[in-house]
Amino acid sequence: QVQLVESGGGSVQAGGSLRLSCVASGLSYSSYCMTWFRQAQGKEREGVANIDTDGSTWYAESVKGRFTISRDNAKNSLYLQMNSLKPDDIAMYYCAARGGGYCYVFRHQSQYKYWGQGTQVTVSS
């Protein structure tokens, strides 16, 4: 079955950096749209960034210029480099997978079938 396993979360001071990873198994990874979502306490889960099968990317306005999404198809892995972290970035971060391309239109959690268990990011001011 499909499994997505995130890692790399932790606690940093404002302005610091973290790199999240997500390893996928049980799917033809290179043909999947991969997205990072996050959910802060009491808020709806929101899309942060995604990367299409051809490597094209989308970012939420709130993270543009600070976060970078990438994928390594040889390792079935997805990454999120997060720089200049702010307290507003505090959330549980999830990776999600959806078959096929056209990632740029798939930014809502309801559009994704496969999810990881999440990794917590905490930023202290």
Strand order of the sheet with strand 67-72?
Answer: 3-7, 18-25, 77-82, 67-72
| Predicted local distance difference test score (pLDDT) of residue 21 | 98
Task: Note whether 64 and 20 are within 8 A (CB).
Answer: no
What separation in angstroms does the CA of 109 have from each of 8, 39, 45? 21, 11, 7
> Which residues pair with residue 97 across a beta bridge?
34, 114
pLDDT digits (tens, 9 = 90+) for 71-94: 999 999 999 999 999 999 999 999
Task: Note whether 29 and 20 are within 8 A (CB).
Answer: no
Q: What is the mean pLDDT of residues 28-40?
A: 97
| Predicted local distance difference test score (pLDDT) of residue 102 | 87
Task: Note whether 17 and 82 are within 8 A (CB).
Answer: yes
**CA 59 to centroid of chain Cα atoms:** 10
